[in-house]
Structure 1
Amino acid sequence: MAADVRQAFLGSFFHTPTYGSFEYLEDALIEVDAGGVIARVVREDDPRHDELVRAYHDSGVLVELGQGRYGLPGFVDLHVHACQWPQAGIALDEPLDRWLLERTFPLESKFADVEFARTVYGDLVRQLLARGTTTVVYFGSAHLDATVELARACVDAGQRGLVGKTVMDDPTANPDYYRDASPRKAVEETAQLIREVEAMRPDAPQGVWPVITPRFIPSCTDEVLRGLGNLAAEHDAYVQSHCNEGQWEHDTVLARFGKEDPYALRDFGLLREHSIMAHCTFLTPDEGALFAQVGAGIAHCPISNAYFASSVLPVKRLREQGVRIGLGTDISGGFSPNMYDDIRQAVMASRMLETGVDAQRPEPERGSGDARISVVEALYLATAGGAEALGLPVGTFEPGRAFDLQVVDTCLPYADLTGFGVFDAPEDRLARILYLSTPENIRQVYVQGRRVIEK
């Protein structure tokens, strides 16, 4: 029994240390140190296993998952518009321009009210934690004070948060009632956010980071994009934006600069190591190579892509190019705060990309071919893939990684996932969890070794 171990967790765990396969740790003992980091994983067949279990039990630090319960890593959600939470599920049948101008911008402008922001953000963070999401990359509104409250909500609830104030300064592209006053003001407030979020770190052992956040190129002037790129280089900060989300954005950037979105972002210093670019469905092979070269990541948002991107991200091709990819719910262009829904949709979208959807076209012309991903690969994207994109030691149950855990109970009345003992191999158990779990099945959630949800 190691002296630096503060907790030990006994149970069966699924994780994906390698893309394309899963590892089942049956009746394993995971030792967690005082910093909430995994110190050691002791497998059932290890000669020390039973003795260590007894020792941790006798010392009062053993946590047993229980019969029919399985541990999965906490999810990493790479793309959430926190200020759109009140409209999740609303108006998704409207065209993007109406959705933004009549719904989204008026809603986001309400976050000038800090009390309103505090209420909404506190609820959203708790809701995501309750669904097993332990790390989130957030777009805030264009308001500095409200975005500081978003970071504080993450700190208070124990969620690992990466938080940005949305920058949208171009007076020709944004409504007068909701935009940054000037490029200079937008850069100054982003710098202030960096200082204020970094000051919260002593109170956030799980981690909290500022993110430089131009909404997307069409909403920003050249001056602000250049200023934000300089700020990213100065602070070696995270960057997030939208890139090649749909035909309109792609065509608008090309007409403005004579080059596609990724190259424009790169030239402003905004496509770099640990930049997280949402959607990217129009990326060509050359642009995928650029992402891999600079170390930028993609937030794949398969649900919102169905509504607003009019295209499917070629995950398999981009992964083979070495691009870092995770999943994003994209609240509220994506209606669901549940990453399980994104796992399922990522698989379905890849199948539709491969085979095509229009039966009136000849079969050879119908789909792209060789594009499908498995549900296990989608789980990797939701955990280790997001961690890889962020460069954070989370997403798997390996020594040196933060202990982020969601405990899934498969034996609940009205939410039974046991399958009646039929098809009970580990891969079958995992598939049922990924395809059939509801929020009710998630009973506990831990972040950095600290329990933050108990149902």
Structure 2
Amino acid sequence: MILRGDLVHCPSLAQLEVLKDYILEVDAKGFIVHVGPASEPQSQTKLKSCVSPNVIPRGSFLLPTFCDLHLHAPQFLYQGTGLHLPLMQWLNEYAFKAEERIDGDPSLARRVYTRLARRLVEHGTGAVLLFGTIGIESNLILAECMKAAGIRAFIGKLSMDKNSRPTYIEASADSALTATVSFIDRCNALERDTEPHARRVEPVLTPRFVPTCSDELLHGLGRLSEERGVRVQSHMAEALDQVEWVRQERGREDIDVFEQSGLLTSRTIQAHCTFLDAPTLSHVAQKGTAIAHCPLSNAYFSAAPFRLREALDSGVKVGLGTDVAGGYDISIISAMRHAVTVSRMREGARHLECASNDLTPDDRKALSIDWKEALYLATTGGADALGLARGAGQFVVGAPFDAQCIRIIDEGTGAGIGPMDFIDDEMVGMDAWSLTDEIVEKWWCLGDVRNRVKMWIQGKEIARTWNSE
């Protein structure tokens, strides 16, 4: 497959590249084998050898798909409700009940997960790290629905043997570990006959968080991760009531519990981490553990914002998560916008603190991030945190072609698509139109599902113009 058009990606933090009129070739296995300006001789040779290249219309561009590093699949059932409660109470009133319903009703599970998969594709999410439930069968349904949708999905069967509803808990650490091994084997079996490059779903070890897991269970999961090389996901240092619970019950910080259990590794992604200070974040970076930053749910359930700039400066691998349903919006675009907003408020607070102490703010210590850095976190940064194939999240040779086509202007009329208005340019036409950083920023701030018209994962087109359905 050969495509011609404008490409946009973020090779590194704060670096945005707008590649105008490029040729991109994807091989039969879905990997990028050529990227270059259309004017170059090699690109011209590629064009001449192709009967019908895919032309991206002017007014549109290709962007890598988004990565969502933290989403509770069964909680999609009640997305957007119950956010007035503190975390531990919210879990009892909403989360556990919904998860138990999903485990007890396979037809409901399939309806919820089929719709969830559709919404993810609709919002440009090409890879997602999912918390499931404690039941094996419903998690296999989740894996099947994500596989059918064609997106990359990392499926976590929850492990929890304490501090839950009496009817929604695993009987013991041993039974929880046995169920986890069974799930890993059965989930892997879904892809057994699929070539490695084309596999989409993968199991993930998922201790819910320290309050719901005994030390015996956590140590067992740590051994299992080491023996099987399986990824790990959990919540860490998320909310004030959760942190205090762990301190009172365990007499330790939950990061210490995870590390002593062998669960703070380069295979681990921890969500939130809002109560980690800068030195602790440096330790997280040394361990190779990644963090899923969920700014919207943090605003509801954490008493403090995540120290994003400090984490990035410490070398922590960071991506973004929606945290449905603790976060009410399934859109990673929304997560990007909230990440910038929270960081700017942190920077404003720093300036106010300096002013109150008659100090001059040191710009080298600025806490805010900009939209380009947020876009990096949603694409390249998220792919790196997930441990996807080399080059994932970028348009480079050797990377898997996971892309979305963003349409912002109608090529025929020059009018903006959906929420995009270009009032000064509408009478000029497309002859002088050229994609710029400023136009990409406008889409980043205002764009929505109406601007997304195609999506590919591993070179395979999985969606087209769903906004007309």
The TM-score bracket by the shorter chain reads over 0.9
* Amino acid of the structure 2 residue aligned with 1:55: S
Number of residue pairs matched by the alignment: 444
Question: 1:233 is matched with which residue: 221, 226, 230?
Answer: 226
CA shift in 2, pair 1:419/1:228, >3 Å? farther
2:111 corresponds in structure 1 to: 119
SS at match of 2:15: coil
**Secondary structure of the structure 2 residue equivalent to 1:402:** coil
Identity of aligned residues (%): 34
User: Which one is further off, 30-39 or 412-421?
Assistant: 412-421
* Residue number in structure 1 paired with 2:30: 36
Shift in alpha-carbon separation, 1:363–1:93, aligned structure 2, 3 A:
farther
The 8 Å contact of residues 83 and 111 in structure 1, kept in 2 or not, is answered as yes
Secondary structure of residue in 1 paired with 2:13: coil
Q: C-alpha offsets along residues 224-275 of structure 1, whole Å, 9 cap, x if unaligned? A: 1111111111111100000000112222223333332212101101111120
C-alpha separation between the residues in 1 aligned to 2:208 and 2:88?
A: 15
- How far 1:222 sits from its partner (Å)? 1.2
Q: For structure 1, which segment, 190-199 or 254-263, has the greater mean C-alpha deviation from structure 2 after superposition?
A: 254-263
SS of 1:415's equivalent in the other structure is coil
The 8 Å contact of residues 168 and 180 in structure 1, kept in 2 or not, is answered as yes
Cα pair 1:31 1:38 within 8 Å, conserved: yes
Distance in structure 1 (CA, Å) of the matches to 2:323 and 2:375: 17
Contact 1:302–1:345 under 8 Å retained in 2: yes
Worse overlay, 418-427 or 64-73: 418-427
Structure 1 length-normalised TM: 0.93
Query: Aligned-pair RMSD on alpha carbons?
Result: 2.2
| 3-state secondary structure, aligned to 2:5 | strand
Equivalent residue for 2:64?
73
Code of the residue aligned with 1:179 in structure 2: it is I
| Alpha-carbon separation, structure 2, partners of 1:17 and 1:365 | 39
Q: Which residue of 1 aligns with 2:90?
A: 99
Q: Tell me whether 1:21 sits opposite 2:15 in the alignment.
A: yes
Q: For the residues of structure 2 that align with 1:384 and 1:413, how far apart are their CA atoms?
A: 26
Mark the CA change 1:419 to 1:234 in structure 2 (over 3 Å): closer, same or farther: farther
- The aligned counterpart of 1:383 is 379
Determine helix, strand or coil for the equivalent of 1:298: strand
Q: Aligned ranges for residues 210-225 of structure 1 at < 5 Å? A: 210-225=203-218
SS at 1:224 equivalent? helix
Q: 2:407 aligns with which of 409, 417, 422?
A: 409
Contact 1:206/1:447 (CA < 8 Å) preserved in 2?
no
Q: Deviations over 1:167-214 (max 9, x none)?
A: 1211xx111021112211111111111111211223471432110000
Preserved contact between residue 159 and residue 206 of structure 2 (Cα < 8 Å) = yes
Say if 2:314 is the partner of 1:318.
no
Question: Does the CA contact (< 8 Å) of 1:302 and 1:342 recur in 2?
Answer: yes
1:44 CA drift (Å):
3.1
Out of 222, 236, 247, the residue aligned to residue 243 of structure 1 is: 236
**Which amino acid in the other structure matches residue 380 of structure 2?**
A
User: For 1:115-264, what aligned pairs fall within 5 Å after superposition?
Assistant: 115-170=107-162, 173-201=163-191, 202-203=193-194, 205-264=198-257
Q: Aligned equivalents of 1:386 and 1:206: distance in 2? A: 19
254 and 410 in structure 1: CA distance in 2 versus 1, 3 angstrom threshold: same
- The AA in structure 2 aligned to 1:223 is E
Q: Report if the CA contact (8 A) 2:11-2:17 is conserved.
A: yes
The 8 Å contact of residues 290 and 385 in structure 2, kept in 1 or not, is answered as yes
Give, as a single letter, the amino acid of the residue that structure 2 aligns with 1:295. Answer: G
Alpha carbons of 1:163 and 1:365: their partners in 2 closer, same or farther (altered >3 Å)? farther
User: 1:4 is matched with which residue?
Assistant: none
Tell me which amino acid in the other structure corresponds to 1:186.
A
CA gap 1:332/1:11 in 2 versus in 1, 3 angstroms: same
- Aligned to 2:446, which of 409, 428, 436? 436
C-alpha distance in 1, partners of 2:71/2:176?
21
Deviates more, 1:13-22 or 1:98-107: 98-107
Q: Structure 1: which 5+ residue stretches go unaligned?
A: 1-6
SS of equivalent to 2:34: strand
Contact 2:87 2:241 in 1 (8 A): no
2:413 alignment counterpart: none
Q: Is the 8 A contact 1:76 1:382 kept in 2?
A: yes
1:216 to partner: Cα distance:
0.1
Report if the CA contact (8 A) 2:4-2:38 is conserved. no
Alpha carbons 1:274, 1:389 under 8 Å: kept = no
Contact 1:167-1:220 within 8 A present in 2 as well: yes
